[in-house]
Structure 1
Amino acid sequence: MRTMRMVVMSMAMLLPAGLLPAMAQTKWDVTKTWHIGGEGSMDYLTVDPQTHRLFVPRGTHTMVIDADSGKVLGDIPGQKNAHGVAIVPSLGRGFITDGGGEGAIVIFDLKTYAVLGTLATVPDSDGIIYDAALGRILAVSGDKGVLMSFKPDIDPKSGKIDPQIELGGAPEFLASDGTGKIYINLEDKDVVAEVDLQTKKVIARWPVTPGGHPVGMALDKKTHRLFIGCRKPQKMIVMSTEDGKVLSDLPIGAGVDATAFEAGQAFASCRDGSLVVAGERSGKFEVEQIVKTSYGAKTLAIDPTSHKIYLPTMEFEELKPGAASGRPKAKPGSFMIVEVGRNATQ
């Protein structure tokens, strides 16, 4: 009963009145917090389910962390503003988008973490994924409004990416269905762009209304559904990739940056310290649980083999009473990883 009361209190604090879902049995909880330290910012992290390693961009460098122990295994230097990481275990390669300066994608060795080479891209190279079915690395640039692609076995010294695809907006993150259709959030246009990789054209634009400013995106390939994290208004939008129809909109916390889908549930990580867990019952989507994480834990990655969720964040200074509105300042050297797992006691 004590646990249930705590969940109710957390939900009441994190969601507006009148939007609370029917109570569901608690399934997820914070299980560990790794205090890592080190300097730099943080962005989208990536998990390698084969080795349980976390690849975490930290601005000018990318850390490699053992998800089982919290130990730092490596640190890949040489970035100006690292945003995301894609890995290709079959080739032993990883790829880091560097949005600083003229833009680049850094190629590194998955075993030694040595930099193999750097591909010239465009400024603000940001979201990046690997689609094994297509055999393509896919990345976007927010400032330039383009989708980039190339084969992962590209020459790391002299290789060039494929011709860029103009998107007509500022992309944030993306998903691929493995058949040649790419789905990309255009944050400034409040739409999802559907791109045909074969024709290299945007073939549809789907509004995320009643959400807005879409950032996080995840795809359930089995049911052809996108799960889109929106900031203004704060919503998780469930959208069909067959026709762009919005199937559901769910309330989430403030400052969402990432969404994920795993084993029938969708997740949205928010800066306010909430991890929203959503599921489908009798054809209807609903918020099943809200896990209290830590302030600033706005991105996430899920290990599909261990079924654990990892969220990077830092400790933050408290805003003084009467201070101008804004975000609290991060404490130097306070970087940490919050682990969320299934609660076996429930």
Structure 2
Amino acid sequence: MNKPFLLLASLLFLCFSLQVRAQQYSFDQKIALAGDGGYDYLSIDEVNNHLFVSHGTSFHVIDLATEKQVATIDGMQGVHGIAIVNEVNKGFISDGKGKAVVVVDLTTFKIIKTIALPEEDEDGIIYDAYSKKVFVFNGDSKNTCVIDINTLSLVKTIALDGAPEFAVANGKGLIYNNLEDKNSLKVIDTKTLEVKATYPLAPCGGPTGIAFDAANQRLFTGCRTNKGLSVVDAITGKVITTLPIGAGVDAVVYDAETKKIYVSNGDATLTIIQQKSADEYIVIQTLSTQYRAKTMALDKKTKKIYVSAPEFEPGTRKIKPGTFAVLVYKPA
């Protein structure tokens, strides 16, 4: 190997190493929130610059400009997620214990309508801009309910034959949904409202969070059983590679601008992965967070990461009263 090539390779490696170090994340602050109930998804309304934090029977609303709570949406029975639909200025909340989707105004935060559903355990929920419909995924009923954003009514229920976890839309008429108990992924056609395909995810076991790279047609699936992040070809369903992550993964986020994948884990770690090409990836940081801080949102403008969790009694899942908070991490 000639000396100029060795020098070039060394310079490229040095540049990459410096870039990675410059983008390391660190703890920024803690936003304390009242209440001791359970907690689940976090979502960001990019238009209004608000962070929605699921917590027990309510949602906290945080202004991302000040990182202060500005509202609380109360009166539900057991909330999980919220689908943000700015074109109608509405948020659609999955109320799992209430067997309903609760529709709220995104600026006043008032409840507009409660849509009662005949299914059990309304959990993950997303908006598909292509079909103008909201899809709520029902864990115990093993299906998804489709809701029209204008009539605020149930359009159809689609059987999934497995327990659905996170889902993501490709913006062109397809939704990809992980089935945690089947180690597989369902492809839903939002034009026909039918399941189009099923992708086996081996070696991925217990798939939960999922994110999508539109430019490269890649899916990123967090897998609890084997503690891995699987990269999947969205067109063929082929598992391309699997990277090591922490235990108890829940959420996965992809940032197309920086080409980073963020994976929040229940073992007090957050794995950050750099995409080098469509099929090449490298873990660049394992960020220390907090025990069971497993759900997450990424502010695509500031690149800050938000995770939520209370503190627990050592060695237990007993929550210490008054400790629930959103933890904020910022890039260097």
- Normalised to the residue count of structure 1, the TM-score between the two structures is 0.85
Whole-angstrom distance in 1 between the partners of 2:34 and 2:194: 43
Whole-angstrom distance in 1 between the partners of 2:40 and 2:208: 13
- Please, what is the CA RMSD of the aligned residues? 1.7
CA positional deviation for 1:137? 1.3
Structure 1 gaps, min length 5: 1-21, 320-326
Give the one of 256, 259, 267 matched to 2:249. 256
CA contact (8 A) 2:147 2:156 kept: no
CA contact (8 A) 2:130 2:173 kept: no
Matched, 1:222 2:215: yes
CA positional deviation for 1:123? 1.4
SS in 2 for 1:43: strand
SS in 2 for 1:236: strand
SS in 2 for 1:273: strand
SS in 2 for 1:206: strand
Whole-angstrom distance in 2 between the partners of 1:233 and 1:59: 29
Whole-angstrom distance in 2 between the partners of 1:334 and 1:179: 42
Give the one of 84, 100, 107 matched to 2:103. 107
Whole-angstrom distance in 2 between the partners of 1:144 and 1:288: 39
Q: C-alpha offsets along residues 229-260 of structure 1, whole Å, 9 cap, x if unaligned?
A: 11101111110111001111011111111000
SS in 2 for 1:219: strand
CA contact (8 A) 1:36 1:70 kept: no
Matches within 5 A, 1:38-57: 38-57=35-54
CA positional deviation for 1:26? 5.2
Whole-angstrom distance in 1 between the partners of 2:147 and 2:27: 38
Whole-angstrom distance in 2 between the partners of 1:279 and 1:88: 30
Give the one of 240, 243, 248 matched to 1:247. 240
1:84: which partner in 2? 81
CA contact (8 A) 1:61 1:79 kept: yes
Residue identity opposite 1:214 in structure 2: P
Matched, 1:74 2:71: yes
2:121: which partner in 1? 124
Sort the Cα spacing of 1:202 and 1:90 in 2 relative to 1 into closer, same or farther, 3 A. closer
Matched, 1:340 2:323: no
CA positional deviation for 1:138? 1.6
Give the one of 235, 238, 242 matched to 2:231. 238
CA positional deviation for 1:39? 2.9
Whole-angstrom distance in 1 between the partners of 2:313 and 2:44: 29
1:96: which partner in 2? 93
CA positional deviation for 1:166? 0.8
Whole-angstrom distance in 2 between the partners of 1:249 and 1:166: 29
Give the one of 264, 286, 296 matched to 1:269. 264
CA positional deviation for 1:31? 1.8
Larger strand proportion of the pair? 2
CA contact (8 A) 2:232 2:241 kept: yes
Whole-angstrom distance in 2 between the partners of 1:310 and 1:67: 10
Whole-angstrom distance in 2 between the partners of 1:39 and 1:315: 10
Give the one of 288, 293, 315 matched to 2:289. 293
Give the one of 272, 281, 290 matched to 2:276. 281
Whole-angstrom distance in 1 between the partners of 2:169 and 2:81: 16
Q: C-alpha offsets along residues 72-120 of structure 1, whole Å, 9 cap, x if unaligned?
A: 211111211101011112222111001114x100001111111111111
2:185: which partner in 1? 192
Aligned residues: 310
SS in 2 for 1:96: strand
Sort the Cα spacing of 1:69 and 1:314 in 2 relative to 1 into closer, same or farther, 3 A. farther
SS in 1 for 2:267: coil
CA contact (8 A) 1:48 1:303 kept: no
SS in 2 for 1:332: coil
Whole-angstrom distance in 1 between the partners of 2:195 and 2:116: 24
Whole-angstrom distance in 1 between the partners of 2:224 and 2:95: 24
CA positional deviation for 1:201? 2.3
Q: RCO greater where, 1 or 2, for CA within 8 Å and sep 6 or more? A: 1
Identity score, percent: 37
SS in 2 for 1:338: strand
Give the one of 114, 134, 157 matched to 1:137. 134
CA contact (8 A) 1:274 1:293 kept: yes
